[in-house]
């Protein structure tokens, strides 16, 4: 996505003091808000602009375009490129923070590590989905009955990393094996050779004695890619 600005300006940016610089800030913010991936109904995006190195002295430019650098993601602490395309040739990176607010679960009270979450301990509130690398817990039923891996404070956005992984099966259990490949899937049964910890690898012996490895994905279930 590109947003062109047909106005000449000189970058001496730290405080965004001039009208042209203010216009640029608005366009960069708009660019970032529109480029944030996945904005369902009820999601609110805020963009906080950082500052460029005050030692930068850039030539006047007739058209400046914001752009997303390769491998960058407009989520949390990140950066956006600003490129001059008419009048001069330069490109700089502007740090910014993208906040993505939506409804999520938060503790109603401070909770220590090891607490098993109960329905009356969680409330719904607006949280910043981009505020941590771990995904936010959006619904209380995703967390009720789960134990906390670390303490969480009242009003803090509850994250997947705050919850202890579940054990879906134990060694010796009969498990459902879902094997998928290019254009096909196979369902079989096998015997677990290791504990099935949520999201982690596990081994299962299937008919014929073959041992397969996969990812524990649910109650007595393992997913195997062929």
Q: What is the pLDDT of residue 29?
A: 82
4 inside domain? no
Q: In the chain, what is the straight-line distance between the N-terminal and C-terminal CA atoms, in Å?
A: 37
Point out which residues pair with 152 in neighbouring strands: 111
- 121: domain range? 102-162
- Give 121's DSSP letter: G
Q: Which helix (H) or strand (E) holds 46?
A: strand 44-49
88, 124: one domain: no
Summarize pLDDT for 14-71 with one digit per residue, the tens. Answer: 333 354 566 677 778 888 877 776 666 678 888 898 887 788 888 888 888 889 888 8
Domain holding 149: CATH number?
Answer: 3.90.1210.10
> Which of 55, 74, 100 is at the close of a domain?
100
The residue count of the chain comes to: 226
- 3-state SS of the chain: helix, strand, coil percent to 5? 15, 45, 40
Question: Is the per-residue pLDDT at 6 higher than 50?
Answer: no
Question: Is the per-residue pLDDT at 216 higher than 50?
Answer: yes
Rounded Cα gap, residues 142 and 213, in angstroms: 26
49 inside domain? yes
Rounded Cα gap, residues 59 and 154, in angstroms: 50
Rounded Cα gap, residues 160 and 164, in angstroms: 8
Global pTM reads 0.69
60, 32: one domain: yes
């Amino acid at each position: 996505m590109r947003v062109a600005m047909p106005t000449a300006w000189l970058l001496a940016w730290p405080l965004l003091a001039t009208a042209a610089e203010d216009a640029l800030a608005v366009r960069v913010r708009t660019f970032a808000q529109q480029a944030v991936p996945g904005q369902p109904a009820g999601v609110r995006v805020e963009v906080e602009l950082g500052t460029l190195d005050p030692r930068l002295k850039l030539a006047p430019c007739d058209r400046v375009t914001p752009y997303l650098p390769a491998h960058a993601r407009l989520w949390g602490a990140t950066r956006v490129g600003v490129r001059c395309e008419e009048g001069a040739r330069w490109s700089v990176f502007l740090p910014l923070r993208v906040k993505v607010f939506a409804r999520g679960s938060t503790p109603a009270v401070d909770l220590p590590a090891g607490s098993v979450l109960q329905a009356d301990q969680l409330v719904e509130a607006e949280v910043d989905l981009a505020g941590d690398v771990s995904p936010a817990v959006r619904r209380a039923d995703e967390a009720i009955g789960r134990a906390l891996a670390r303490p969480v404070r009242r009003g803090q956005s509850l994250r997947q990393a705050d919850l202890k992984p579940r054990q879906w099966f134990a060694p010796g259990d009969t498990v459902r094996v879902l094997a998928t490949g290019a254009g096909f899937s196979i369902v079989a049964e096998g015997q677990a050779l290791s504990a099935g910890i949520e999201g982690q690898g596990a081994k299962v012996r299937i008919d014929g004695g073959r041992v397969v490895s996969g990812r524990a994905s649910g109650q007595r279930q393992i997913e195997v890619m062929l």
